[in-house]
Chain A
Amino acid sequence: MEIKELENIAAQVRRDIVRMVHACQSGHPGGSLGCTDYLVALYFEVMKRKEGFDMDGAGEDLFFLSNGHISPVFYSVLARAGYFDKSEMSTFRKINSRLQGHPTTHEGLPGIRIASGSLGQGLSVAIGAALTKKLNGDNSLVFSLHGDGELQEGQIWEAAMFAPHNKVDNLISAIDVNGQQIDGPTDQVLNLGNLKAKWEAFGWDVMEMNGNDMQDVLRGLELAKSKAHKAKPIMILMQTNMGHGVDFMTGSHKWHGVAPNDEQLEAALAQLNSTLEDY
């Protein structure tokens, strides 16, 4: 797919995000907007995907979202990629919906393979899925995404230690390094320090990319794929701006978990082209 096409999809996904969060007056727009380019690239260009959805995902690449609060971007990308009808986005966070506040398998929504929301668990799950692929002789890859604030959870570092020791080299993880968390900038809440040095010290093949530049996202993900199956798990430190694409939401933790009001929605949508049809 041309870069322009991917950027167009990303613009539509960003519209979906702010509209979903506005409609139920809850949810997490900031991180969702920041990770839009990565998820669009993954689902529309990078991942090898089968038609339809089955839980086992044999022979196709898998994606696990660990920072489940950015469910709006996940749901929009899944719907736009054809896992379910885009009209279902109007049910986000409402009663009797498959689009729960945080992603879940419980409601049978196609595209979701694990519940996430309680932080720090997704890397372990992704490692498990990657191990099963190896046991099954399945050469496809496992991708996972994590928040940077999430790295404050201890389980992440248990998983960080396990994957290189066991040569889980069919795993491409990414961290959304936006430097923000609920209570403020990460370096004030609990400084993460030198992430590159930390992950390298644990034995990962660490690379960096700009998560809000589609060209660099594609470059980064393709480079990551070329590093797979070489005895090391791969970690992408992805620099993003929280709220990217909507100027007044950009770069601040204030939009971590706040919904726009009617005027703010209008102002946001004015900055995002409807390239596909709105849901």
Chain B
Amino acid sequence: MKKYTYTDKKDTRSGFGAGLLELGRTNPNVVALCADLVGSLKMGDFIKENPERFFQIGIAEANMMGIAAGMTIGGKIPYTGTFANFSTGRVYDQIRQSIAYSDKNVKICASHAGLTLGEDGATHQILEDIGLMKMLPGMTVINPCDYNQTKAATIAIADHHGPVYLRFGRPVVPIFTPADQKFEIGKAWMVNEGTDVSIFATGHLVWEAIQAGERLAEMGISAEIINIHTIKPLDEEAVLKSVAKTRCVVSAEEHNRLGGLGDSIAQVLVKHDPVPQEYVAVDDSFGESGPPAELMTKYGLDADNIVQAAQKAIQRKG
């Protein structure tokens, strides 16, 4: 089993800011738009170096999505920045018609996704965004796991033509993926090989899955852990290959159990290789205010929950 350690912790939104800064230096077509959350989205460094390529939209997210769509006409690659809630639910029809249906090359970059936004509470903690975005035909949905991967994903999506939803968060989390990684859209990332259970995790839950894997190993259970950073298109081959070996699944995500990564995996299993699956996800509820770590525990999203889900999935193998 590969041992993962970390020397540094950072928020994934800072990875976005760093990726955007690098794009500012390497890709003259990249432009950035923000709806009054420049600090939260860590866009400051890009703005400092490229003031002419930054557009402050004000608190008007619908207008931001429309402007972004229009800016692609003439070759720009707009990166929009606001919280996940205001990047998706608030502007769903604008994204649907002006971006997705119109096949516009807009990168919708969403910070503060999920419960770990913390104290602001449920009005801001969207847990439905992956579902909303993956249902749009042609939309790519990415939820990277740490600072380095978020930076790499931010850079990689500039070379992918088409709309992308890039989801990241507020909390400070361990950095455990390499700084020099090449991000491949739609290619699952093997974290640890195992034989007894497949744990498919996305976003912040990948680190929780790694910790769960260590505890399971102590119990003599060999967990295969796979980082599904791209929820759509889903790496079905990686899912099926792993399941062929382990014969049971845990999916782990900071999202409603309805419509997220778990459902995407379940669909693949039902069609090709039905095996037991346990969900680690929010059980169809809104969030609430509180410190991120406490919320993760209360809503059943931490390493302990993954351990329990793995045990249950293994039991169900019969």
Q: Which residues of A contact B (CB under 8 A)?
A: 55-58, 62, 64, 104-106, 113-118, 120-133, 135-136, 138, 154-155, 158-159, 161-162, 166
Contact = CB atoms under 8 A, between A and B. Distances in A.
Given A104-B101, A114-B102, A135-B52, A56 B63 contact: no
Given A106-B101, A135-B52, A125 B66 contact: yes
B76 A124 contact: no
B165 to A, nearest CB: 18
A159 B75 contact: no
A128 B62 contact: no
Nearest to B104: A114
B74 A132 contact: yes
Given A125-B66, A155-B62, A155-B63, A135 B97 contact: no
Contacts of A116: 97
A128 B58 CA distance: 15
Nearest to B103: A105
Contacts of B31: 135
B188 interface: no
A56 B75 contact: yes
Nearest to B76: A132
Contacts of A120: 62
14 contacts: A114-B98, A115-B98, A118-B96, A121-B93, A121-B97, A124-B67, A126-B70, A155-B62, A159-B63, A159-B66, A159-B67, A161-B58, A161-B60, A166-B55
SS class, residues of chain B in contact with chain A: helix
Interface of B: 31, 52-53, 55, 57-58, 60, 62-76, 78, 93-94, 96-98, 101-104
Contact of B63 (A58, A113, A129, A158): A158
A124 B75 contact: no
A65 to B, nearest CB: 13
A128 B105 CA distance: 13
Contacts of B72: 128, 132
Nearest to A125: B70
B94 A131 contact: no
Contact of B76 (A55, A135, A162): A135
A57 B74 contact: yes
Nearest to B28: A135
4 A-B pairs with least C-beta separation:
A128-B70, A124-B66, A132-B74, A158-B63
